[in-house]
Amino acid sequence: MISEKTKSGNLQTVKRLPTYLYLLNNLNANGREFISSTHIAAMLKLDPTQIRKDLAVTGITGRPKAGYSIPALITAIKEFLRWDNTTDAFLVGTGNLGSALLGYNGFKTHGLNIVTAFDTDPAKIGAIIRDTMVLDISKLPDLAKRMQVHLGIITVPADYAQSVADLMVSAGIRAIWNFTPTNIEIPPYVVIQNEDLSTGLAQLSVKLAHVLAKDSTASDE
């Protein structure tokens, strides 16, 4: 029942879909049934044509004058993002960030289920952090194969990121969510998503400097 054309859309579109989904869920909770691209665009300060192009990848068509069915869009976006089914994942590294991710409830509505956490620290192994058991990392390969887990989350110190990734790959993990600044090398049949916070901080720093600089030159404009 997956779209035959596999019109996967571009990655920029994929990045915007969760934003639309969040907005649509709010509208839906308010009992609203239809929404036009014009209205979505106004709320998100985006271009209406872009909204229509983005929504087109879900296969949902709108109705002239009425717009798009909100429940239909919600279902279709979730299906497109594979958030309609649960994907099991392993997390390695139960420090501050790892523990925070284990406790983040939002993942459940995004089809992500962190089934087991791993660490090397004997003080942590055997513990239960936010309802998730922490096992010795040596147990990962065997468990990954038995549980058919394909997604791995890396929240270890940067120096260990590559070796954890290597272990994951050898265990059959096919997708890695990397929260370290390390540039991890992986084979072509594995995908990686880098979620390094310093990237966002860099952008914010530059933007802040820019907006503060404008203050002093305001008289020039």
Partner DNA sequence: TAGATTGTTAATCGATTAACAATC
Please give the residue ranges that form the binding site for its own copies (CB under 8 A).
Answer: 6, 8, 11, 14-15, 17-19, 22-23, 43-44, 80-83, 87, 95-97, 99-100, 103-104, 106-107, 110-112, 130, 150-151, 158, 174-175, 177, 181-183, 189-191, 193, 195-214
Q: Which of 51, 46, 48, 54 is nearest to 10 (CA)?
A: 54
Stretch that binds DNA, among 40-48, 94-102, 103-111, 206-214 (CB under 7 A): 40-48
Rule CB under 7 A: choose which of 25, 50, 69, 113 binds DNA: 50
Binding at 94: pick from its own copies, DNA, none (beta carbon under 5-8 Å per type): none
What is the nearest approach in angstroms of DNA to the Cβ of residue 110?
22
User: Taking the complex as a whole, how short is the minimal distance between the CB of residue 138 and its own copies, in angstroms?
Assistant: 25
Strands (E), the chain: 34-35, 68-69, 87-92, 112-119, 128-129, 132-136, 151-154, 175-178, 191-194
Can you give the three-state secondary structure of 167-199, one letter per residue? HHHHCCCCEEEECCCCCCCCCCCCEEEECCHHH
Taking the C-alpha atoms of residue 139 and residue 129, their distance in angstroms, rounded to an integer, is 17
Compute CA distances 32 → 73, 111, 118, whole Å. Answer: 13, 25, 44
The three-class DSSP label of residue 95 is coil
5 is an interface residue for DNA by CB under 7 A: no
Distance CA 38, CA 89 (A): 38
Looking at beta carbons only, is 53 or 130 nearer to DNA? 53
As measured in angstroms, the least distance from the Cβ of 157 to DNA is 29
Q: Which does 10 bind (CB under 5 to 8 A by kind): DNA, its own copies, none?
A: DNA
CA distances from 65 to 34, 38, 54, 128, 152 (A): 10, 11, 19, 54, 45
Per-residue tokens: 100: 């925070």
Of 50 and 87, the one with the shorter C-beta distance to DNA is: 50
Q: Which of 4, 5, 6, 12 binds DNA (CB under 7 A)?
A: 12
Least distance (Å) from its own copies to the CB of residue 182?
8
Contact 117, 102 (CB under 8 A): yes
When asked if residue 178 is in the footprint of DNA (CB under 7 A), the reply is: no
Among positions 52, 110, 130, 150, the unique one binding DNA when judged by CB under 7 A: 52
Told to check if 65 binds DNA by CB under 7 A, we report yes
- Identity of residue 27: L
Kindly state whether residue 36 participates in binding DNA, applying the rule CB under 7 A. yes
- In the complex, the residues that contact DNA under the rule CB under 7 A are 10-13, 36-39, 46-50, 52-53, 55-56, 61-68
